[in-house]
Every structure is written in C-alpha cells, then in structure tokens.
Chains A and B, each alone.
Chain A
Amino acid sequence: MESYMMSVDNVTMKFGSLVANSNVSFNVKEGEIVSLIGPNGAGKTTLFNCVTGFYKPSSGKVIFNGADITGVRPDKIAKLGLTRTFQIVKPLKSMTVKENIMTGAFIRTNKFSEAEKIAEEVMERINLIEKRDYLSSSLTIADKKRLEIARILATQPKMIMLDEAMAGLNQTEIKEVMKLIVTLNKQGMTFVIVEHIMEAIMPISDRVVVLNAGVKILEDIPQNVVNNDEVIKAYLGEKYHAKNQKS
C-alpha cells in the first residue's frame, strides 16, 4: 500500500436533508498538485471545509500525515501543517502586509523578531517585499490573494489547500499565481486546489478530482478529464452534450 500525505475517506456532509458531499474519497501524495473541480454547487468548498476542520463531516474520515483529523478544530489542523485559503479573501484589514504575514508566522514561534524574520523571507519569496508596510485593505485583489498565500506560507505548512485563488484575476495575474504554485511545488509543497478556471489548472495538476452534485464522478490525469463525457455533461448539461454527439 502506498503512503499518502492525506486521505479523504468516504466523507459525507449533510445540512439537514441537503447532502452537500456524499461518500467522497480521494488521496493526495506528498509533492502532488491535486485539483478539485466541478460546477457551481458541486460541493467543493464544503469538502474543503470538512477537510480543514471548519465543518465536522456527518460521516467519513480525513487522515493527514497519519493523524486522524476528522472534526478536529482548524487551528489544530493548521498546527499539523495543513492550511487553506478562502474563496472570499480575508485579509486582516487593519494590519499591514508584514503584520498579516507575521500573524501567520507566530504559529511556530513566540518571539516577535523570529516572526518578523519569517515574514521577511516569505515576502521575498512571494514578491510582496515592496508592499510590506501597506495596509492590507489598500491592496488590489490580486495582491490580497497573494497575501493570503503568503500568510499561510508563514505557518510553514506541509500542504496548502487553495480555494479559488485565481477567481477575479486577469490573465497576467492568473499566470503569476500559476507560476507561484509551480515554484512552491518544485520546492516540495503539496497542493490541493479548488478552481473554476480550467485552462489555468489543467496544465499544472498531477491529478484531477471531479465533483458533481456532491459526488465524486471521476479522478484521473488532466488529459483524460477534459475529454471525459461525464465531465462535459456535468459542466455543460445533458442537452448540450446530446447536441454535440449528434453533430
């Protein structure tokens, strides 16, 4: 049996009678980039929340680095080395860029100077160094998203989960985020990415997990996913698929 960095095992999440995730399972190996795609309402963000401790799954298990993290509080999961960003950016508005990142760095140190040092390093890596003293509320959306990644990098994670880190960005900015992900991945970082923008995600992913209506409908390498009937149906609807088949 292969050893996985993270295994999501039959996770089900219900809100009352609504089933947002139903028996979803997938695994992530160290150093991989795994993408989670699916149409709106497929349950991607819910799954994210279940994995990172923001929701407690109704059933199923999440194992990270050999530890059962099902229903464990998000801050404890972050301490284990699994961190996430949010679909809607959450900068700490009254703080500067540097202070935002320092807040992340404090997870591994109690010393102010140490946190400062980690923040400086991260800002260099992420290209935020010139904006270090800007209030985070004054940043552009692209920089805010970058700041979110910087802040979680400062927690020195083993795995990063990005929730639509590219939404709302223009082409150049998307390329920059892609480049950043690839660079960090080369340095050994493992990623799970939720994304809508296919052309951005396909080239960099090792594997793609497709969700539809809360159920995993496919898991494969990117090339196979884009040509899969099920996936096209899920995204574009039954009718469109049928029309295309005829022509």
Chain B
Amino acid sequence: MEKSITNNKKMIGVVLLIILALPIIVQDNNFRHIMILFVLYAALGEAWNIITGYAGQTSFGHAAFFGIGAYTSTVLLWKFDIIPWIGMLIGGIIAVVVAIIVSYPAFKLTGHYFAIATLAIGEIMLQLFVSWEYVEGATGIMLPIKENGYKYMQFHPMNKLSYYYIVFGLFVITVITAYIVGNSKMGFYLKAIKENPDAAQSIGINVTRYKLYAMMVSAFLTAIVGSFYAQYVTYIDPFMVFPLALSMQIVLITVIGGLGNIYGPILGAAILIPLSQYTRIIFGGTGKGLDLIIFGALVVIVTIFQPNGLVGLFENLFKKIKKKEAINDGKLHDVS
C-alpha cells in the first residue's frame, strides 16, 4: 500500500522550495507582502494544528501567544536594546510558561468548555495589555529604528525579500516541527488522545502531560511568529496582536485547509490570504466591507462543500495522478 502524501518528505521539500522561490522570481513588493503574510499565517496554522488538529483540543485563544511573542521582543528592543532574535526566543519561552500556567486548569475541561476557556484567556490577555502602562497600554509601541540588517531584523528602505527569508525560515521550523511531532511517539499519543482519551489512558498515555507538551510546542512556535510580525509591521498595539479575530483567522485557515494535516495550514493560507488581500485591494477601497462579504461567503461555501478541508480535494487529485501513472506504466489495469 502506498504511503499517504502527508508522510512524503520529498513532496514536502518540493512544496517548500516552490514557496521559497516564488517571491524571489516575482519582483513585486505587493506580491512579496502577500507572500510574507501567507507564510506567516501558514506557520501560525501549523503551530495551532499541533494542539487542535493533532491533540483535538480546540483553542480559540492562540492570539494570546502571538501577542506575548510580539510584545516580548518589542519591549526588550525598545527598553533594553536587546536584539529581536533573542527577544524572539525569550518571547517563546514566556509563551511556554504562560501555556503551562493556563493549561493546567484548562485541561480539566473538555470539548466546547475548553474552547471557551481558551477564548476567555485570550480576551483576558487583551484586556491586561490594554491597561498595562509599562507597555503603553492601548496606545501601543512604535519600534525604535536601529541599524540596517539581519541583526536587528530591520531593513531600510523596506526590503521585503529579507523579511521574507526570515519568516520563511520560521515557517520551515514550524513545518519540520509539525512533521516530527506527527511522525513520532508524541504524534501517535496526541492522535490517540484526540480519538479516545479512555483508550489512550488504558495503554499508558499520560493524557494531561501530552496535551501540555502539545500546548507548549504550539505556544512557542506561535510566539516566535508573533515576534517576527512586530518587527515587520514596526508598530504594535494590543488590538493588533491579541484580538479574537486573529485567533479565529488561525482556526479558519487551518480548518479550511485541512485539520490535523501538515498541508492543511499551507493550503488554507495559500487560498485565504491572497483572497482576502486581493479582494481588499479590488473591492475594499470603498471601505464598505464588500471584500469581507465575499470572503465570508466563500468560507460558508467551502465548509459546506469541503467540510474536511481542501486537502481532501488535492489528495484525491494526487491519487488519480498516481493511478494514471501506474496504468501508463502497465502496473495496474484500469478498472473503470
């Protein structure tokens, strides 16, 4: 029996190479901006997928980790002149600590109760940062201008390609992590927990501990992407990095693409990000929300006609091609 495409390392490599090459070939700043957002959201989707797609614990609060990452590196740069690379790492670690603190009580809950608890945690974070004067509250923080180059992750005048290389690197880290997790003991355990916690316990799985591991990994990856985002946009406020809308965007991208599948977030982001960006450019200029009407309607249509995500569509296509090849090679007789 052939291996599922999701386990095919070569295939993943090819996909990543194409994604890397596109903005190098197409020298358009607007296109590069969209590519940056695309891999950024794909990375967030991969991170979220680990706790929700693999382990089955729906999080509606991932913006909390994203915001922690964004604020940590920003505050460290602004107040202590610490380079964003270290800030990113510290942000990731703080997110992991927060994940541990909030997960212990939250993992007592199941299903919707857990989902609403994560939503509550995200909202609390937002409120705290809005009223926290040390980080300028609702006013937000403008990043100080530093020397050009990778050291400070600053490129003047705006060199989108350099930003792209950084976010692409983070994206590759999330994809590799998701791959390793999915094809290891941890991935098997998470899937077992998702499917049936009782059965999982009966074969020796410490359910809470593995859910916690998944949350920690997911939080860390989400936070480092958040740090990059702050560097890229150079100004952050709580409503940009902590909103429920961001948490939902991550959910949306992954589920539309394919939950629990390594290609899901990539596919979801590849379709939804350009779609929302271009509809905004085409229809959004009037400020009337036509872009989001189209976007919303498409979300409804996709969930109705492809409830298991767009990955299913591509997997079928892939199987058909494989089968055709096999027929052409004479390995298989056409049964149809």
Which of B188, B191, B203, B206 has the largest number of chain A CB atoms within 10 A? B203
Please name the residue on chain B nearest to A100 by beta carbon. Answer: B192
**B191 to chain A: which residues have CB within 8 Å?**
92, 94-95, 103
Which residues of chain B from 193 to 211 have a CB within 8 Å of any chain A CB?
195-196, 198-207
**A94 to chain B: which residues have CB within 8 Å?**
191, 195
Please name the residue on chain B nearest to A108 by beta carbon. Answer: B204
Contact across chains for A92 and B196 when beta carbons are under 8 A apart? yes
CA distance A133 to B196 in the complex (A): 20
Interface assignment of A78: CB less than 8 Å from any CB of chain B: yes
CA distance A245 to B280 in the complex (A): 88
Q: Which of A79-87, A120-128, A169-177, A195-203 contacts B (4 or more CB under 8 A)?
A: A79-87
Label chain B's interface by main secondary structure. Answer: helix
Contact across chains for B203 and A73 when beta carbons are under 8 A apart? no
Interface assignment of B185: CB less than 8 Å from any CB of chain A: yes
CB distance from A115 to the nearest CB of B (A): 7
Contact across chains for B183 and A112 when beta carbons are under 8 A apart? yes
CA distance A106 to B186 in the complex (A): 9
Interface string of B165-190 (1 = CB under 8 A from A): 00000000000000000011100110
CB distance from B269 to the nearest CB of A (A): 23
Contact across chains for B199 and A90 when beta carbons are under 8 A apart? yes
Which residues of chain B from 53 to 106 have a CB within 8 Å of any chain A CB?
none
Interface assignment of B1: CB less than 8 Å from any CB of chain A: yes
CA distance A149 to B297 in the complex (A): 48
Known: A112-B184, A133-B1. A73 touches B195 (CB 8 A): no
CB distance from A193 to the nearest CB of B (A): 16
**B199 to chain A: which residues have CB within 8 Å?**
86, 90-92, 151
Q: How large is the interface on A (under 10, 10 to 19, 20 to 34, 35 or more residues)?
A: 20 to 34
CB distance from A49 to the nearest CB of B (A): 10
CB distance from B181 to the nearest CB of A (A): 12
CA distance A84 to B199 in the complex (A): 9
Interface string of B101-143 (1 = CB under 8 A from A): 0000000000000000000000000000000000000000000
**A210 to chain B: which residues have CB within 8 Å?**
none
CA distance A109 to B204 in the complex (A): 12
CB distance from B10 to the nearest CB of A (A): 19
CB distance from A102 to the nearest CB of B (A): 6
CA distance A109 to B191 in the complex (A): 17
Contact across chains for B198 and A103 when beta carbons are under 8 A apart? no
User: Interface size of B by Cβ–Cβ distance < 8 Å?
Assistant: 20
Which residues of chain A from 202 to 242 have a CB within 8 Å of any chain B CB?
none
CB distance from B74 to the nearest CB of A (A): 38
Interface assignment of A155: CB less than 8 Å from any CB of chain B: yes
Contact across chains for B195 and A92 when beta carbons are under 8 A apart? yes
CA distance A107 to B192 in the complex (A): 13
Contact across chains for A112 and B185 when beta carbons are under 8 A apart? yes
**A104 to chain B: which residues have CB within 8 Å?**
203-204
Known: A93-B195, A103-B188. A152 touches B203 (CB 8 A): yes
Interface assignment of A52: CB less than 8 Å from any CB of chain B: yes
Interface assignment of A68: CB less than 8 Å from any CB of chain B: no
CB distance from A72 to the nearest CB of B (A): 11
CB distance from A110 to the nearest CB of B (A): 5
B204 is contacted by which of A79, A91, A92, A133 (Cβ under 8 Å)? A79
A75 is contacted by which of B184, B188, B195, B201 (Cβ under 8 Å)? B201
**B192 to chain A: which residues have CB within 8 Å?**
92, 95, 103
CB distance from B193 to the nearest CB of A (A): 10
Contact across chains for A152 and B202 when beta carbons are under 8 A apart? yes
Contact across chains for B204 and A75 when beta carbons are under 8 A apart? yes
CA distance A154 to B185 in the complex (A): 14
Contact across chains for A78 and B195 when beta carbons are under 8 A apart? no
CA distance A78 to B204 in the complex (A): 5
Please name the residue on chain B nearest to A93 by beta carbon. Answer: B195
**A110 to chain B: which residues have CB within 8 Å?**
185
CA distance A115 to B203 in the complex (A): 13
**A95 to chain B: which residues have CB within 8 Å?**
188, 191-192, 195
**A107 to chain B: which residues have CB within 8 Å?**
203-205
CA distance A23 to B139 in the complex (A): 66
Contact across chains for B189 and A106 when beta carbons are under 8 A apart? yes
Please name the residue on chain A nearest to B2 by beta carbon. Answer: A133
CB distance from B259 to the nearest CB of A (A): 11
**B183 to chain A: which residues have CB within 8 Å?**
112
Contact across chains for A86 and B203 when beta carbons are under 8 A apart? no
Known: A99-B188, A106-B189. A155 touches B204 (CB 8 A): yes
Interface assignment of A43: CB less than 8 Å from any CB of chain B: no
Which residues of chain B from 5 to 44 have a CB within 8 Å of any chain A CB?
none
Contact across chains for B198 and A86 when beta carbons are under 8 A apart? yes
Interface assignment of A71: CB less than 8 Å from any CB of chain B: no
Contact across chains for A78 and B203 when beta carbons are under 8 A apart? yes
13 pairs of residues in contact across A and B, judged by CB atoms under 8 Å:
A52-B202, A54-B198, A74-B201, A78-B203, A83-B204, A90-B196, A92-B195, A95-B188, A106-B189, A107-B204, A112-B184, A112-B185, A152-B202
Q: Known pairs A75-B202, A75-B203. 15 more at Cβ < 8 A?
A: A54-B198, A54-B201, A75-B204, A75-B207, A79-B204, A83-B203, A86-B198, A86-B202, A90-B199, A91-B199, A92-B199, A95-B195, A109-B185, A151-B199, A151-B203
The 6 closest A-B pairs by CB, nearest first: A78-B204, A107-B204, A90-B199, A74-B201, A133-B1, A92-B195
